Structure 1
């Protein structure tokens, strides 16, 4: 099966009350782990990479291995640019075969965000690529971007309506209290805000910073209308820990196959648990 965009998988999730997992991958091993887990769970899948990962690995290399995975496994797989922060990087990803792109203009003044997002939507839709955008700021660190809690602005429901109408985006990432990276204290999500946004907007809604959010809050968010959840930190930590354990037991190990394989397996197990939690297993 060729790579697909996110339109059908996210709208199916919205219609049937579950969410699709979007998992940040960084190399061949993490991609293989995520795809294998999704296939075993018969789940639709969104593979995503940040600009930082693209700088590290190259968008052409990433697209190539994603295409191989999509042809090998008979499940719908989308390749998504996460937090694309410029028109240029979106175009670069479209050229090599990404099927979905997030343009993150949330740090721009509102009207500039609208204009820039609309421009991305026009070129992406012409190529059959779906577009996600963000309104409101999600605290924490994502690549080189840092948003301080004091500057955090939750998504304004009425502004979200205006934004969706003016830009034509396919899905919207909203800020209701999640954070990128590790949480420093108790997680509190503004479910009343989520309910209001869901009642006003008909497109799929996205929750960034889902790593570390307690399962009961994740289930509640899905119940109230979240259709895509992003997971990054909860994959990176077990991958790193599994590799560390190899070297703790055998400090002289030098074969990448020996220390990367346990990391790959650890990611696979986390992805299976997330797919169960999100309710997207069996929905491929």
Structure 2
């Protein structure tokens, strides 16, 4: 069952955020809206992908569309924070149905270059074709009356970005909940030192800023997913970095932890599509699309 929670606006010029927990991948999808104008953006929405059968379904994304319709929202942006390694992004599927522009960080072009080599697909991944906007660090846009600022937040990937929407920030795979810590930094192009620097930059936001993360898997102490915290809570209580942990100590801990982690079971499948904004490869002569999986590369 999908867990859905809404974090209401905190006053004037404040964002309302509804999070939808996708249990298969532990991902949180977001609808962020301006209560005054009913304009909205969708962030990191998921398409279902069964890695055993390579079957795609749209149930999670359709639930988001149903919510948008019920709430009377107008979607102005379809946003992703990075090319996800653990779930298939719904960017193109949503764009076909809503007509809103889709966007991601500009350094996705560099991520695509890395994966062209890994897949040995030199002509793959035209990110300028598949995304309407490639945001650079410091870019600004609006969701209704809410100002949005883009922060480059590398470490988990070299091109991850954070969306700061008025009084909230969508921090994707940087922080996790304070009782869990932070996200891994061992994928191609990732770096624990860069992740530490990104975490510190996020902690420079005002203490009361609401932070919304990309994933939660629960803990031994709680079996329900959580995804909202604040800058103050993360700075004081985060398991990996709270209380002023230094860069060297953090990098050593993060690197040691990452060496124990297996690759996400969807990673080599979905990245071929996520670097196309979630599109499947062009069908071959028999009308079917096919993925290419590198052997013995990881």
- TM-score after normalising by structure 1: 0.34
The structure that is strand-richer by fraction is: 2
The structure that is helix-richer by fraction is: 1
Structure of higher RCO (CA pairs closer than 8 Å, 6+ residues apart): 1
